[in-house]
Structure 1
Amino acid sequence: MKSLSIAIACLLWQPAVALSQDIVRATDPFDEHVLERSQVSTEIVMGVMLTGPGGDGKSPILGMELPKAWVPPQGESPAMFCVRVTSKDGRYASTNAYRVMPGAKTGLRRDIDFPSEKLEFLKMREAAVRVTRGDCHERPNEFALALWSAEEAPSEFLSVFLNAGGQRAAVASDDYAAHCIDETEEAGLKYTARCKFPVAKLNRGGSTTLYFTVNRNRTAEHFQIAVVTPEP
């Protein structure tokens, strides 16, 4: 009976280990820091998320929806993606690179290794998370769907958090347009607008281009991002 129990335990344990090796943190040691005060940032897109920004007293759980397009075929070298977490007040920031192994499993939720020593700090602070293709030194182009808060079910809306400097912003696609929600706060320096986009309008299994407009000093600034999702 004892040997049977050990055999069953091994069978249950092995798949979990295999899955956990699909996504491996490349940045070592884990990069994170807490500042006394926020620093000015030139980044515009701070987060592309399927969950809320947290800050509800619960420990955040970092995850993503891994697109098939980001997974290299068997026999090729691992691919890279970057995860950046920034608290709304600008005091916390972490930037870490991860490797996607050839043939990695795609799907709705893949947990990501996030060995933070600042979880107590993060529990009470909203944060924006972005997952971008390529190394952390590359200019962000493609964004995957990030999951952060302890909410069990992803939202019906994608939230894109913008560092809009307190100015009005809007989001659009080929068949959708909406004003972004102003979330400006005196202590909230890293993002000031939340742009909500219906998940149902994303091109599942492909790429969706989102267009943004931010009005600065009576001048409209335009930019776009590509959001890539796994197959349903």
Structure 2
Amino acid sequence: MTQLAVPLDRGAGAPVVLLHAEGVDASIWAEVAAALPGRVAAPDLRGHGRSDVVDPPYAMGALVGDVERMMEARGLTGAVIVGLSLGGMIAQALAVKRLDLVRGIILINSAAKIGTRVGWEDHAQAVARGGMAAVADDLAAKWAPRGGDPAPIAKRLLDCAPNGYRGVCAAMAGTDLLAATATLRLPALALAGREAQAVPPDLVCETAALIPGSEFALIPRAGHLAPLDAARDTAAYITTFLERTGHA
């Protein structure tokens, strides 16, 4: 059974679980987490960071199950799940499956369906042939905000295990949560980097519209990795949501 490392788990009170994007790890949440109230936990997802790297492909259900077991083991019930890109897809699927674990969701540069099967398969094949170096520079250029330096993003991507990235590419290629997310009835907030290219703000807004009563906002000066580009603004949006929903 895949074990998730949880490099960040601190504080007490109402839990918040932070799920990172594909190709990076829990460390992207460091500055945001430090500004949040209550108990905050951020795991490394399967194939990323210090978590187990198993052979690809991965299924979305397996990624969801990993997070589900981690939350149960650590007593993280009734949590607000904050998910970036891939992490947001996991948050949606987990909320559909386990409303006892999930009290609310915040999606950052995420959607019910991201990209195309062919696009994700092409990424996975490129990494199989040339490692993360085959995609790191192109992804970093797309993920960085306008005028931002893509080099630190490329370095993070180069640190990702190739098999882990290939695995989550397969999971995202095979996932369409449009119908499932439309069944959700819980507090929800969708945030988009104003300068995000990988998951355009319009797509994030369309996903928010699937959930009755959800809210949508733009994060200024942020690209795909909003917790790095605009940590203070990201943390402020999360904290306001927690306070408004009585979770702070």
| TM interval, short-chain normalised | under 0.3
Structure index of larger Rg? 1
TM-score, normalising length from structure 1?
Answer: 0.28
Scaled by the length of structure 2, what TM-score is found? 0.27
More helix by share: 2
Structure with the larger strand share: 1
